[in-house]
Chain A
Amino acid sequence: MVYKFVTACFLLFVSSIVQAQSGDFSRRTDGTPDISGIWQALNNANWNLEGQAASQGPIETLGAIGAVPPGQSVVEAGTIPYQAAAAEQRAQNFSNRRTDDPEAKCFMPGIPRASYMPQPFQIFQTDSDIMMAYQFAGAVRTVFMSEHMEAPIDSWMGWSNGRWEGDTLVIEVSGLNPNWLDRAGNFYSNAAKITERYTPSGPFHLDYEVTIEDPDVYEDAWSISMTLYRRVEESTRLYEFKCAEFAEEIMYGHLSKENYFRNLGIDINGGNDE
């Protein structure tokens, strides 16, 4: 009797391990994977998709807080196949990254950058469409699952037409405003076509693969791949990150009364500047 009980417990234990390891994610009533929940990348893609050794960041006064951590490339071929002019543009972006990176300016991050910002995002699966809400800049997009259409207008988060291919959610994104892909100045133009693939490999992981085509910027299509992790802490929620106010100094600081007249060498506080 005791022996049978122990065996039963052991089998239960083993089967639960096997379940977790064999990618036993839950499914919705229509049979498609349930990928709703809060997700986040745990890598350095947002620093540089091509990867980098540790280096000093653009703001030395932040000390090691502002340093660039090391991380390997998430680009499948290792590097991005830029056209010559675009490679120059990328180098220029890098030089001006402290003020020109759309992240520094609190602009909506576009796709795919929104997926690997160092802040969580949430997937909602409704009876028809899917919604993805991002903590960074409060960006949001609807993934249209049935009524596909060409992007009616350009936007920062683009136009997303989605479909299930087996257990993979495939989203084709177009109509994106030109944007950066990371803090290193990698970028796309508004000719970009992005194809995302989200495949659950278990209850807590999504394989995330993205193909980026842009005939104005790259020689060929190229791809990145990474894992997205489910935020499992019970307290995890998306909170507001209305960052426009944090970007005001770099965007409009030169136009404040104090800075503007100081830069002109004019003392507006009663002193004599001549």
Chain B
Amino acid sequence: MSKSDSLKSGILGGLCLMSLSLWSLSGFAQQEGWEMPRTSWGDPVIQGSWTNSTTVPLQRPAEMGTKEFYTQAEVREILNRQLNTEYAETEAGTAADVHYQFDDYGMNKTADTITANLRTSIIFDPPNGRLPEPTEGALAKLAEYTAWRNEHQWESAKTRGLSERCLIWGQEGPPMLPLGYNSTYQFMQTEDYVILQLEMIHDVRIIPLDGGDPMDNSLPQWMGNSRGHWEGDTLVVETTNFSGRTFANGMRGVNLSSNTHVVERFTRVSDEQISYEFTISDPSVWKQSWSGTYPFMSIDGPMFEYACHEGNYGIENILSGKRREELDAIEAARQ
């Protein structure tokens, strides 16, 4: 499959979009002369369709030390390199040539609005931009899980991963993180609630503000129990009461504990952007808390329904494939 002219123009278009974004994204300061849009009751408007798709990695490459920002020239070069790699001509008849037609289904990175910015990592604390050191307990669980997984992961639907089972995906959080797949969000707001609808996996975070009724903290929730309030023009959302069943970032098999504590701060800084900042702590998993930031970029709605479980042919195929493999092995051994 060879790339087409339309793809090339897509790359150029994408780069232009990102170039524009770069100028405005070197910081999250509000633009001069811009007026905060407000709801009929006076809160800043964050209602709308947003994306957190980004080329900025969660963790900074270790060799970059404490360098928090790229220069504009550096980030352009990196984006160019990434895009050229993505669109590199592939040679007919090779395995590399079997790939998606990237301009179908929005598969190409340039089809999306990308929240490019100068950061070298989403994490800004610890200052090396990397996840903090895990506790001894977390490392022990990681080893235990890896051993268990090698032995049992194919046994039934219940031994498969949470996202494969359409229970929850890693980017849902909180904190919500861009994982490069369907990074689309629809925010709604009333005087008493902020409602964050995530494309993945049609999950909704219903966040009561000061006026809303809180949840009962004796009922653990996959996405925790969130409470919000406005501090000036910043929406601060605090979440506790997690299920203890979701994985800690970067450590598959180590569950976040029910004591995980997350604080998120949403600040609208322009018509196009909401600054998002978060801090997460879980003393049973990490030796210190960690914080990150990225912008949500405005996109055209509407967002479509992501029916994960209803269309989950994957898990059936995975299990039946494994059973066939086991059966073949049994039959081969009998001969």
Question: Please, which residues of chain B bring their CB within 8 A of the CB of A27?
Answer: none
B39: chain A residues at CB < 8 Å are: 127
Cα-based distance from A40 to B241 in the complex (angstroms) = 26
Q: Are A155 and B158 neighbours in the complex by a CB distance under 8 Å?
A: no
Chain A residues 122 to 158 lying within 8 A of chain B, measured CB to CB, are 122, 124-129, 131, 133, 137-140, 142, 144, 152-153, 155-157
Chain A positions within 8 Å of B216 at CB level: 235, 237
Q: Is A9 an interface residue (CB 8 A)?
A: no
In the assembled complex, which residues on chain A have CB atoms less than 8 Å from the CB atom of B188?
Answer: 124, 126, 129, 131, 142
Number of B residues near A (Cβ < 8 Å) is 50
B197 in complex: contacting residue of A140, A248, A251, A268, CB < 8 Å: A140
CB distance from A157 to the nearest CB of B (A): 6
Whether A252 is near chain B, meaning CB under 8 Å from some CB there, is yes
Chain A interface, DSSP helix/strand/loop, else mixed: loop
Chain A residues 7 to 32 lying within 8 A of chain B, measured CB to CB, are 29
Q: How far is the CA of A157 from the CA of B306 in the complex (A)?
A: 11
| Contact of A257 with B326 at beta-carbon distance under 8 Å, contacts A36-B190, A252-B316 already known | yes
CA distance A266 to B40 in the complex (A): 68
Annotate B105-148 by CB proximity to A: 1 below 8 A, 0 otherwise: 00000000000000000000000000000000000000000000
* Contact pick for B202, options A129, A139, A252, CB 8 Å: A139
A236: CB under 8 A from chain B? yes
Q: Is the CB of A133 within 8 A of B206?
A: yes
Tell me the complex Cα distance, A266–B202, Å. Answer: 41
Closest residue to A157 on the B side, CB-wise? B305
Check A140 against B202 for contact (C-beta < 8 Å): yes
| Residues of A51-110 contacting chain B, CB below 8 A | 106-108
In the complex, per-residue mask of B41-61: 1 if CB is within 8 Å of any chain A CB, else 0:
000000100000000000000
Known A124-B195, A125-B190, A240-B221; contact A106-B309, beta-carbon cutoff 8 A: yes
For the complex of A and B, the 3 pairs showing the least CB-CB separation, nearest first, are A256-B156, A255-B319, A155-B305
B-side residues, CB < 8 A to A, are: 39-40, 47, 154-158, 165-168, 186, 188-190, 192-193, 195, 197, 202-204, 206, 208, 213-216, 219, 221-223, 302, 304-305, 307-310, 312, 315-316, 319-320, 322-323, 326-327, 330
